[in-house]
Amino acid sequence: MKKRKCFLLAVVLLLMLAFVFAPVANAAENDTLNFRLMFNCSTVSPYLHFNDADWWWQAGVFEPLVWLNDANGTFEPMIAKEWSVSDDGLVYTFKLRDDVYFHNGEKLKASDCVFSYNLAKQAPTLTTFTSPYDKAEAVDDTTFKVHLKEPYYPFLHHSSMIKIVSEKAVSEQGADFGTKVALAGTGPYYMTEYNPAVKVAVKAFDKYYLGKAPIENVNYIVMVDDSSAVIAFERGEIDIIQVPSTYWADISKSDKYGSKITPRHELYYLIVNMNSPEQNKILANKDIRQAIGYCVDKQAIVDVVKEGLAIPYDQFMDPAITAGGPESTIKYEYNLDKARESLKKAGYPDGVNVGTLMSFSPSEYVKMAQIIQASCAEVGIKFEIEQMEVAAGLTEMRAGKTSMSFCASTFLLDYDYIGRYFHTRNDATHFVKYKGSDLIDWKTIDNKFDDGTRAKDPAQRKKIYSEAERIIMDSGTYFPIMMTSFGMAWQKDLSVDTSKWGAFFMFSPYDWAWKK
């Protein structure tokens, strides 16, 4: 009896031990750079839904025809050497380089571009970028034409978001494309491993048209948790990292690492829904909405939420680099006296309850919400903070049920891009429904955004858009809060060319090298 029990116990323990096989990790390679991804990857395909993580690693693997240099808002050649637009604004002609190879060894032809543009057209993720064009056409191997439905001057911005893939490589994979290693890009690196929750590994491509990349291997390692990622960086397990804002002050001060802040065209807004059903539609009162706008302490938000990795922002886009971007005429600076005045004008000098502010959890939004709540409370505007998961929150926002909420958006540097939030053709997914409302002159907004895309002259476009921006700003529905920045840090043995850094080209490892 005793023996049997001991035997059973031993079996149970052995069974458990059996699970504890620990395969030893592959030996570290010398010429390997490790980069941290903040999220799990979601796809290999540049056309399916993508998130920030995919964006980072795809930067070195897939390339568009032209590259939008967001430091100055101009375009620079990539796969296309040169390009032109017809006089009627309907046809874009791209002249392609003749020395571009895909990672599978095939030479890039105009037909691959046609294939890519058609594939992009089917992707729900890219509809914003693909909706202007009607069809793509290969004139010969190095000439590629895109036909638009109607004149649409921001088109080059959109084409910089459409990456080119190999027709052969993608067709071979068929429906599997996007889920496993694909040799379909033209970038300086090709994929060798794809494990969405763990890492993506890429290797320097010998036949890259600008010459082979200086660093042989790059591992993009998924590390969701910020603090453990920073610890890994400090231990040297990670070579280059986008520093989480709470660690920025510490890391950037240290002379052990190189670091740089790069502006990212990502704007955070406070959205105040004028149609909100809460509190007897109290937010239909414009003065109350504007009073809330004056309560947003942008500097405090930048300090607390972003620890300096952002700048307070008063307008939708930076007019210096944005095509068609106007100077804002109406701005909401943090001013509690003005807020009180506005509240008095609204007829609520003693304060008012405006319902709830919905924020996604867990995120910076929750912190922003607390800061706005505290300063609103000082003038007597009260609201609850409600946390939701992203999926549920977005649905509530789109249904127009939330009173106040946040939203962040990365902009292509053309003013038309923000039309997504205000032009009523997208009304179904808008967070504030303008269409049919008598609280705002939505028809003029629509007209201005329509006119803006048809106008060729930049100065004229600015004029058109300035009217749209005035109406929107005055309505007190969207309040810009801050423009965020990337704070990048890297180990000292790495030399990093930061001249090309920006939101859209996104840090291709091609510009990095080990110091000798």
Partner 1 sequence: MEENLMEENLDVDFRKQSNAKEIWRRFKKNRSAMIGLVLFVFMFAACFIAPLFVPYTSVTRQDTKNKFAPPSVAHIAGTDNFGRDEMARILYGGRMTMSIGFIAAAISLLVGGSLGMMASFYDKADNLIMRFIDILASIPPILMALAIVSAMGTNLRNVVIAISISRMPAFCRVVRAAVMGIVDQEYIEAARAGGTGDFRILTKHVLPNCLGTIIVQTTMNMSLLMLAAASLSFIGMGVQPPAPEWGSMLSEAREYMRSAPSLMILPGLGIVLVTTQLNLIGDGLRDAFDPRLKT
Partner 2 sequence: MIRYVVKRVILIIPILLGVSFLVFAILSFTPGDPASTILGNGATEEAIKQLNHELGYDLPFLQRYVIYITDIVTKFDFGFSYRTRLPIANELVSRLPISLKLASLSIILACLIGIPVGIMTAVKQYTMFDTVPTITALIFAAFPTFWLGMLLLYAFSLKLGIFPSYGASTWVHFVLPVIGLGLPEAATMMRFTRSSMLETVRQDYIRTARSKGAPERSVIWKHALKNALIPIVTIIGVDFAALMGDACATEVLYSLPGLCTMIINGIRQKDVPSVMGATLLLTAFCSLVVLLVDIVYAFIDPRIKAKYSGSRG
Owner of token pair 């049920």: 401
Q: Where are the beta strands (DSSP E) in 251-346?
A: 257-272, 310-312
At closest approach, how far in Å is the CB of 251 from partner 1? 9
Query: Could you tell me the CA-to-CA distances from 90 to 85, 135, 152, 456, 464 in Å, in that order?
Result: 7, 11, 8, 12, 21
427 secondary structure, DSSP code = G
Closer to partner 2 at the Cβ: 186 or 242? 242
Binding mask 162-191 for partner 2 (x = CB under 8 A): ----------------xx------------
- Asked if 161 is part of the footprint of partner 2 (rule: CB under 8 A), the reply reads no
At closest approach, how far in Å is the CB of 91 from partner 2? 25
SS3 426: helix
At closest approach, how far in Å is the CB of 306 from partner 1? 12
Spatial CA neighbour of 116 closest among 163, 62, 82, 57: 163
**Which of positions 385-444 make contact with partner 2 (CB under 8 A)?**
389-396, 398, 407-409, 420-421, 426, 428-429
- Asked if 299 is part of the footprint of partner 2 (rule: CB under 8 A), the reply reads no
What pairing do the DSSP bridges indicate for beta strands 404-410 and 381-388?
unpaired
CA dihedral sign of residues 347, 351, 352, 358:
positive
At closest approach, how far in Å is the CB of 305 from partner 2? 19
Q: Can you say how many angstroms the Cα of residue 472 is from the centroid of all Cα atoms in its chain?
A: 23
Which residues on adjacent β-strands are paired with residue 483? 267, 311
- Residue 22 interacts with which of partner 1, partner 2, none, CB < 5 to 8 Å by class: partner 2
At closest approach, how far in Å is the CB of 120 from partner 2? 13
Closer to partner 1 at the Cβ: 112 or 364? 364
Cβ proximity of 201 and 192 under 8 Å: yes
Closer to partner 1 at the Cβ: 235 or 516? 235
At closest approach, how far in Å is the CB of 478 from partner 1? 23
- Residue 48 interacts with which of partner 2, partner 1, none, CB < 5 to 8 Å by class: partner 2
Which amino acid would we find at residue 197? A
At closest approach, how far in Å is the CB of 48 from partner 2? 7
Spatial CA neighbour of 163 closest among 274, 46, 276: 46
Cβ proximity of 299 and 334 under 8 Å: yes
- Residue 42 interacts with which of partner 2, partner 1, none, CB < 5 to 8 Å by class: partner 2
428 secondary structure, DSSP code = G
Enclosing H/E stretch for 249: helix 245-253
Q: Which tokens sit at 372?
A: 């706005």
- Residue 515 interacts with which of partner 1, partner 2, none, CB < 5 to 8 Å by class: none
- Residue 160 interacts with which of partner 2, partner 1, none, CB < 5 to 8 Å by class: none
Q: Which residues bind partner 1 (CB under 8 A)?
A: 226-227, 230, 244, 246-247, 249-250, 297, 300, 303-304, 361-362, 366-367, 369-371, 373-374, 377, 384-389, 392
At closest approach, how far in Å is the CB of 259 from partner 1? 15
At closest approach, how far in Å is the CB of 224 from partner 2? 5
Cβ proximity of 283 and 274 under 8 Å: yes
Closer to partner 1 at the Cβ: 386 or 414? 386
SS3 142: coil
Query: Could you tell me the CA-to-CA distances from 422 to 286, 295, 309, 324, 447 in Å, in that order?
Result: 17, 23, 28, 16, 11
- The rounded distance, in Å, linking the Cα atoms of 331 and 314 is 6
- Residue 197 interacts with which of partner 2, partner 1, none, CB < 5 to 8 Å by class: partner 2
- Asked if 3 is part of the footprint of partner 2 (rule: CB under 8 A), the reply reads no
- Residue 207 interacts with which of partner 1, partner 2, none, CB < 5 to 8 Å by class: none
At closest approach, how far in Å is the CB of 431 from partner 1? 18
- The rounded distance, in Å, linking the Cα atoms of 400 and 284 is 13
- Residue 244 interacts with which of partner 1, partner 2, none, CB < 5 to 8 Å by class: partner 1
- Asked if 232 is part of the footprint of partner 2 (rule: CB under 8 A), the reply reads yes
Q: What is the dihedral of CA 36, 41, 47, 51, to 10 degrees?
A: -70
Q: What is the dihedral of CA 197, 201, 207, 213, to 10 degrees?
A: 120
Spatial CA neighbour of 162 closest among 317, 87, 50, 37: 50
- Asked if 16 is part of the footprint of partner 2 (rule: CB under 8 A), the reply reads yes
- Asked if 2 is part of the footprint of partner 2 (rule: CB under 8 A), the reply reads yes
Binding site for partner 2 (CB under 8 A): 2, 4-5, 8-9, 12-13, 16-17, 19-22, 24-25, 40-43, 48-49, 124-125, 127-128, 178-179, 195-198, 221-225, 227-229, 231-232, 234-235, 237, 389-396, 398, 407-409, 420-421, 426, 428-429
